Structures are given as structure tokens and as C-alpha cells.
Amino acid sequence: MEITAAMVRELREKTGLPMMECKKALEEAEGDMTRAIELLRKKGMSQLTKRAGRDTGEGRVACHLDSATGRAALVEVLCETEPVAGTADFIKLTTAAAQVAVQLPTPTPEAILDQPVPGDGGRKVGDLLHDVVNRIRENIKIGRVGMVAGHVGYYLHHDSKKGVLVEFSAECPEQLKRDVCMHVVSMRPLYARREEVDPALVESERRIASEQAVGKPANIIDKIVAGKINRWYSEIVLLEQPFVKDDKKSVGQVLKEAAPNLTVNRFVRFEIGEA
């Protein structure tokens, strides 16, 4: 069967792949468009395997909030180079991953890949990822996935390289929600509250503080150690960090001023490229 330019063009429009690859697939499929698409998809799987070991230090963070369920998901999708993260194909993949994640009770990269892409005729997210890899020719994968529910605040940085979800204990003013989320992006807390910190880590810091206080009067060593521990907490614990918009108050104090019982239950923070 003769492979016409119109057939090649149609296959290219459907797959986004180079003209010569489309022509070769049509020739192998003897002009059968469906079979040619399947052949290209199988070749795309080999591209995925070939590139699986490459470093993925770039990417995007996507967020999706489901107002019906009160859940919000944050998903990190990784690639090799920065320009790829800004392509329409990559943005479509990250958006779909976040939309799917919010519908899952316990979202994981594997579970997301097995779900259908919203509004895409039943094609799975995994199929979409394979197609994107086949077109872009980079290692692309879903990285971390997080979810919170209830009274949710969220923030995506303008470059989509940083994203935050914050679960508040009660209703929170919208501007304060956004301010706290931006604080988390900027100040990089490791924990929401001090009770979450590993006791072994606390004990290690206490031992270091005690060693630094050697030689001080015995009656003030405990105060010195307590002061050092509290300062350490104020560096790593969200509720105890000085609030970025008013560093005379902690984040916890600002929330209590807005509502007596208002606090942060937990948060999720992703940044592309962080260790």
C-alpha cells in the first residue's frame, strides 16, 4: 500500500512524533493507522526503559483541590532538563497526575499511573507518560505525592518548582491561608509542631547544647540549654518559626490571634531539586 504524505501528516498530528518515524511506522503497519500508532507506542516503551537511569533534577509541581471532597493533592513530576518542564505535553501530564491523585484515598505514583486521564477516553496516565517520553525523549517520572484534607490552603510558586499544601485545624481567613503557605515555601520548616520531631534528634541537640554550656555556672546551665533548644525548634518547626510578615510573632501566635483554636495539623512541601 502506498504511504501518502497525508497519511504521514495525520499520524504525526495524532502522535506528535517526527515525520520519518511516522512514515516508517505506517510502512511497517502497511498503512493501518491504528496498528502504526500501536507500533509507535511500543517503541515509546523502549524509550522509557532506555532512559530510566538518567538523572531527573528538573520538573514541575502540580496541585489540585477537589471542593466536593475537601481534599487537595500535590504531585511532583520529574524530567531531565528545565525546558522540557515548560512544554505543553509535560504540563498536561503534571495536571492530569494531580487531578487523578486527589481522587485516590492513598495516592502513590504507581496508583496514579494506573488511573484514566480525566476527559481522555479512558487512556491511563501511564499511557500519557509513555507518549510524552516518546515525543520528548527524556526520562520522565512521577516523584513525590502528598495529600491533605479539610480546611486546606495551598500555594504554587510562579515557576511551578515549589508547592505547598497546609491543613488547618479550623476555618482560616483566605489571606492568612495564603500567607502561611507562602511562609512554608520561603522558610522550609521540617515539622508542623515540636511533638513531631524525632526524640533521638532532640536528645542529640540537647547533648550538643549541654556540651557548649560546659564551664558556665551550674545554676544557669539548664536555662542555657533550654534556650538553645527553643531557638532550634524555632528554626525547624512551623508553628514556632517567626512569621515572615511579622517576625515579632510566631506562626502559631498569628494563627491564634485569628481564631483561638486555629493551628496547623500538617503540611506538605515539595521543591524540585531538593535532596
Residue 123's identity, in one-letter code, is R
| Residue 43 or 167, more confident | 167
Mean pLDDT rounded to a whole number for the chain? 89
pLDDT at 203 > cutoff 90: yes
Rounded mean pLDDT, 230-236? 95
HSE-CB for 174 with a 13 A CA cutoff: 0
Q: What is the DSSP string of 201-229?
A: HHHHHHHHHHHHTTTS-HHHHHHHHHHHH
Question: For residue 32, is it within any domain?
Answer: yes
In degrees and rounded to multiples of 5, residue 261 shows phi and psi of -105, 10
The predicted pLDDT at position 222 comes to 82
The predicted pLDDT at position 37 comes to 73
Residues 120 and 104 grouped into a single domain: yes
Residue 13 belongs to domain with CATH number: 1.10.8.10
Residue range of the domain that includes 96 = 53-149
In degrees and rounded to multiples of 5, residue 17 shows phi and psi of -90, 165
Query: Which three cell numbers mark 20?
Result: 520519518
Global pTM reads: 0.79
Q: Residue with C-alpha cell 526524640?
A: 199
Question: For residue 161, is it within any domain?
Answer: no
| Residue 70 or 23, more confident | 70
Rounded mean pLDDT, 125-141? 87
Question: For residue 172, is it within any domain?
Answer: no
